[in-house]
């Protein structure tokens, strides 16, 4: 066997090992869920609501986008729910129905996703906090990889629409990610700005999700519902483009009562209680863009 064949064989072997590890972790998680379902069989609905997502498709895959914009209107909520409005390849931004009240939260991972033990990450690989809103609290997080997070009191209300913005600014060494939030029609509030170790030239992987993070039996008995009125992406030239196409996924698919889709020409996600099963709903969906033009004033 020549050296090229040996390298190919090693790559294939490593890929197989990684795949087996992922399958093993998924099977372990499924076994835990199955046992918990058996232990809580007396509940009317599943003991937790599944996490449901929308992946927003870039209007042009050849363009480098430096800004993501999304809006959310929450119609139904439950304590201990996270409504992520802008997820991307190294972080996410959204609002929480937290035990201590309503919050906005912005998180960005360390280099390579970090480690579950955040204290084990070399300082040189950690995401740095460049700015934190005076009323917010920035800190390190771990347990799902590691990085920096900022939690800011934000008194969002049911039925009102809020807007969110994340921008990427490449540096010679590193990348700056900045997040803002506001009620539609009101001034932006800057949540935080972070600098990561890796230099990136574009935002990737625009998504949203609704998550029941308490999973305590009570939280699964009630529904969550969020609409996402408008989404847009900003190119490196400063131009904004609306998004028309999305696709829905679900986590921990042993629990099916959750899905995303389009209703009244708006993207939405719903989960918990009597929500119709994910398996019965379309996985790809689109909205009609009545007005494709979109502009956004700079928040700074």
Distance, CA of 207 to CA of 174 (rounded, Å): 23
Distance, CA of 176 to CA of 35 (rounded, Å): 43
Residue 299 has pLDDT above 80, yes or no: yes
Distance, CA of 105 to CA of 30 (rounded, Å): 29
Mean pLDDT check: name the lowest of 11-20, 163-172, 218-227, 234-243. 11-20
For residue 259, name the pLDDT band (cuts at 50, 70, 90): very high
Per-residue pLDDT averaged across 88-98, rounded?
A: 97
Distance, CA of 49 to CA of 221 (rounded, Å): 8
Distance, CA of 149 to CA of 108 (rounded, Å): 7
For residue 9, name the pLDDT band (cuts at 50, 70, 90): low
- Sheet-wide strand order for 245-250: 137-141, 147-153, 101-109, 91-98, 81-88, 207-212, 52-56, 245-250, 284-286
Distance, CA of 58 to CA of 60 (rounded, Å): 5
* Angstrom distances, CA of residue 131 to CA of 182, 201, 216: 18, 21, 35
Distance, CA of 96 to CA of 156 (rounded, Å): 9
Distance, CA of 91 to CA of 198 (rounded, Å): 13
Architecture of domain 52-286 in CATH?
A: Sandwich (2.60)
DSSP assigned state of 118: G
How do residues 116-136 score in pLDDT, each as one tens digit? Answer: 999 999 999 999 999 999 999
Find residue 3's DSSP bridge partners.
none
Q: Strand 224-228 vs strand 91-98: parallel, antiparallel, or unpaired?
A: unpaired
Residue 287: both structure tokens together: 């909205």
pLDDT at 163: 98
pLDDT at 7: 53
Residues 6+ apart with CB under 8 A from 246: 54, 55, 56, 57, 260, 262, 267, 284, 285, 286
Distance, CA of 25 to CA of 201 (rounded, Å): 33
Q: Please state the domain extents for the chain.
A: 1-39, 52-286
What end-to-end distance do the CA atoms of the chain give, in Å? 60
Per-residue pLDDT averaged across 139-163, rounded?
A: 97
pLDDT at 179: 98
The kind and range of the H/E element at 150 are strand 147-153
3 state DSSP class of 66: strand
Q: Of 29, 44, 12, whose CA–CA distance to 273 is shortest?
A: 44
Average pLDDT, the chain: 92
Residue 218 has pLDDT above 90, yes or no: yes
3 state DSSP class of 223: coil
More confident residue, 162 or 9: 162
Are 260 and 246 spatial neighbours (Cβ–Cβ below 8 Å)?
yes
Distance, CA of 167 to CA of 224 (rounded, Å): 28
């Amino acid at each position: 066997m020549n050296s090229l064949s040996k390298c190919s064989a090693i790559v294939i072997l490593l890929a197989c090992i990684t795949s087996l590890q992922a399958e093993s972790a998924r099977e372990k998680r499924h076994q835990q869920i199955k046992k918990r379902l058996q232990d809580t069989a007396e509940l009317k609905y599943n003991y937790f609501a599944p996490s449901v997502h929308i992946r927003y498709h870039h209007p042009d895959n050849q363009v480098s986008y430096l800004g993501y914009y999304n809006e959310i209107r929450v119609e139904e909520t439950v304590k201990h729910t996270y409504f992520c409005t802008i997820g991307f390849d190294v972080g996410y931004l959204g609002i929480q129905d937290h035990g201590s009240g309503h919050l906005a939260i912005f998180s960005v991972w360390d280099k390579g996703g970090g480690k579950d033990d955040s204290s084990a990450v070399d300082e040189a690989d950690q995401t740095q906090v460049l700015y934190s809103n005076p009323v917010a609290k920035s800190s390190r997080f771990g347990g799902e990889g590691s990085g920096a997070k900022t939690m800011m009191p934000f008194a969002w209300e049911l039925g009102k629409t809020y807007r969110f913005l994340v921008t990427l600014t490449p540096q010679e060494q590193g990348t700056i990610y900045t997040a803002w939030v506001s009620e539609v029609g009101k001034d932006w509030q800057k949540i935080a700005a972070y600098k990561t170790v890796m230099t990136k030239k574009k935002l990737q992987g625009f998504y949203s999700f609704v998550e029941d993070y308490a999973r305590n039996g009570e939280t699964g008995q009630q529904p969550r519902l969020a609409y996402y009125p408008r989404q847009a992406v900003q190119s490196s030239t400063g131009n904004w483009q609306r998004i028309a196409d999305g696709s829905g996924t679900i986590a921990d698919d042993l629990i099916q009562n959750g899905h995303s889709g389009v209703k009244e020409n708006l993207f939405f996600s719903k989960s918990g209680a009597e929500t119709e099963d994910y398996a019965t709903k379309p996985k790809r969906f689109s909205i009609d863009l009545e007005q494709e033009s979109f502009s956004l004033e700079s928040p700074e």
